[in-house]
Amino acid sequence: MTADIVDNRGATAALAVICLAVILSMASWFAATAVAPELARAWELSPAMTAWLTNSVQIGFVTGALAASLVNLPDIVRLSRLMAISALVAAFANLLLLVFPSPAIGIASRILTGLALAGVYPPAMKLTATWFKRGRGLALGAVIAALTLGSSMPHLVRSLAESLDWTAVMAAAALAALTASLLFALFVREGPYPFSRAVFHFGDIGKVLKDRDLFLVNLGYFGHMWELYALWAWLLVYLRRAPALAGLSPSATSALTFAAIAIGAVGCILGGILSDRFGRTLTTAAMMIVSGFCAAAVGFLFSGPLFLLLPLVFLWGIAVIGDSAQFSAAVTEISDARYVGTALSLQMAIGFALTVGAISLMPVLADALGSWQWCFLFLVPGPAIGAFSMLALRRRPQAARLAEGRR
């Protein structure tokens, strides 16, 4: 009994350190996005070029995650060491932009940031799993919550540093990543439940694509990803252009953007609890129905009233990320154990690749419409298709393998 208590305390402490380090690392993801308006003015960037400040990170992440899977890097390099080195590279990428500020170096540094973060986020999920047998779903949800908080942090720094230029945000992100590197190196180790090897094999791609149950899970994830990063990338711009917020300063809209993204951490924990209690398909479908409603409704509140717009944006922030961890959990439960590694890698690669298209097309749509008011309608098909897919999976026999029988 005493050993179990000590073990639980050790797992909780390990999870706390991992989450703190993930928050600090992921501050690099949207560092340039948070100051995109300032960089666009300084470098005379078009909306399409501005989008690449975020898209470059997405591309770097997909490339890094696939490369790591191909060589099975997390099984070759100790996880804590891999994450420490990766966070250090992320810090260097942010400093690179500070020392050599230009559009070309900006894109290159953001690609390098994405490559580095591919060595933090997926390994952090795997390392967390080594500490938990029971409560693993909730623990992984906590890591996604940490990712969400970290992604929102540059907007908080931006809101506190209105009198400073964009370099303050990039410098803070570099310092945060450096601190994360030290935490990973000095205080993080693997737990007592080693995670099985999950290797990517090209030969298994066909099996994954032909598996109807996996196809439905992945389609749900793809719909979720179509919406998620486009919202996170462009919410600041939308709020700054909305007449309902015309009287607010840039720092105030940055603070609102931070709050709307950061509140997603609540959604991650809530999603884990609901998924374990009511089932993965029902929870993910419900989250996507709510987020799809928010995407459809937000344009009607572009001019206010503010007391309706802000609660809707916060609700959207909760729902849009709350289901994220459950798609990966569903793959591990429903997939054939022989190709679960390929299934997870393929899901992540295609999902993040889709974000590039969604992020790129949003400013093009805004330009064509002459306003940002109705642009988020473009995201609605993602959660709509995703919810339909997960409800279709719920009716299939294999769904009984999800969440210990909770479909």
Q: What is the pLDDT of residues 111-129, one digit of tens each?
A: 999 999 999 988 888 888 7
Q: Output the CATH code of domain 202-407.
A: 1.20.1250.20
**Nearest Cα residue to 146 out of 30, 19, 322, 327:** 19
Domain limits, the chain: 1-197, 202-407
Helix %, strand %, coil % for the chain, to 5? 85, 0, 15
C-beta neighbour count of 26 within 10 angstroms: 29
**Nearest Cα residue to 112 out of 158, 173, 169, 156:** 173
Is the preceding peptide bond at 311 cis, omega within 30 degrees of 0? no
Two domains, one topology: 1-197 and 202-407? yes
State both tokens at 68.
């790591």
Chain centre to alpha carbon of residue 98 = 25
Residue 7 above 60 pLDDT?
A: no
Amino acid identity at 119: G
The tally of CA atoms less than 13 A away on the side-chain side of residue 395 is: 4
pTM as predicted: 0.87
Residue 68 above 50 pLDDT?
A: yes
What's the rounded mean pLDDT across residues 74-78? 76
pLDDT at residue 205, as a whole number: 75
User: 1-197 is classed in which CATH architecture?
Assistant: Up-down Bundle (1.20)
- Weakest mean pLDDT among 117-126, 148-157, 330-339: 330-339
With both helix axes pointing from N to C terminus, report the angle between 167-187 and 2-26 in degrees, rounded to the nearest 10: 150
328 vs 345: CA distance, rounded Å: 10
Higher pLDDT, 6 or 275: 275
What's the rounded mean pLDDT across residues 248-269? 92
**Nearest Cα residue to 286 out of 273, 300, 305, 301:** 273
pLDDT at residue 165, as a whole number: 77
389 vs 245: CA distance, rounded Å: 36
pLDDT band at residue 158 using 50, 70 and 90 as cut-offs: confident
Q: What is the pLDDT of residues 89-102, one digit of tens each?
A: 999 999 999 999 99
pLDDT at residue 1, as a whole number: 37
pLDDT band at residue 228 using 50, 70 and 90 as cut-offs: very high
pLDDT band at residue 400 using 50, 70 and 90 as cut-offs: confident
pLDDT at residue 2, as a whole number: 36
pLDDT at residue 344, as a whole number: 75
